[in-house]
Amino acid sequence: MQQELSTIFIENLAQTFFLPLGQSVVFEAMYWFGNATLAGAFMVLLGALGGSLANWGFGRMLASVRLRRKEYFSDMRFERFNRFFRQYGIWLLPLYWGHFGTLLVIAAGFFALRWWVTLAFIAAGTLLRFYWQFPGLLG
């Protein structure tokens, strides 16, 4: 069981980090064969949070590059996108596990959304995904 849990964690960490792919193939197989546990779900959550935190950090790094080279992304354009993301984009963060979710997390870092707010939305999205895709797992 320890082997499966570490595989689930590493798989989700890798697939959340820069890869807009489906997540937790091993966990889904365990669920459909009747072997899924809450420990496995917790590993999915930890892997997703770790990979998303790395993506958030990448977004912060892009923001520091933007500060040095403003000709690519002017202050006016930055503020307009920042307002739009903080008003609407933040509510899409729980859907980070979708095809373009990685870009949302990078944008959260780019627009300096606090890391703990980002992780809270991602954790809520993971729980929402468990409730939706894996009925019966959470009760």
* pLDDT at 74 (0 to 100): 76
Predicted TM-score (pTM) of this structure: 0.81
Residue 139 within any structural domain of the chain = no
Q: Considering its fold, how many domains does the chain have in total? A: 1
Residue 122 within any structural domain of the chain = yes
Packing angle, helices 101-110 and 115-133, rounded to 10: 160
Distances (CA, A) of 12 to 47, 49, 97, 104, 113: 5, 9, 10, 17, 23
- End-to-end CA distance of the chain, in Å? 22
Averages of pLDDT over each 10 residues, the chain, 139 residues: 78 69 70 81 86 92 80 79 91 84 90 93 89 78
Residue 114 within any structural domain of the chain = yes
Residue 19 within any structural domain of the chain = yes
- Which range marks the domain in which residue 97 is found? 2-133
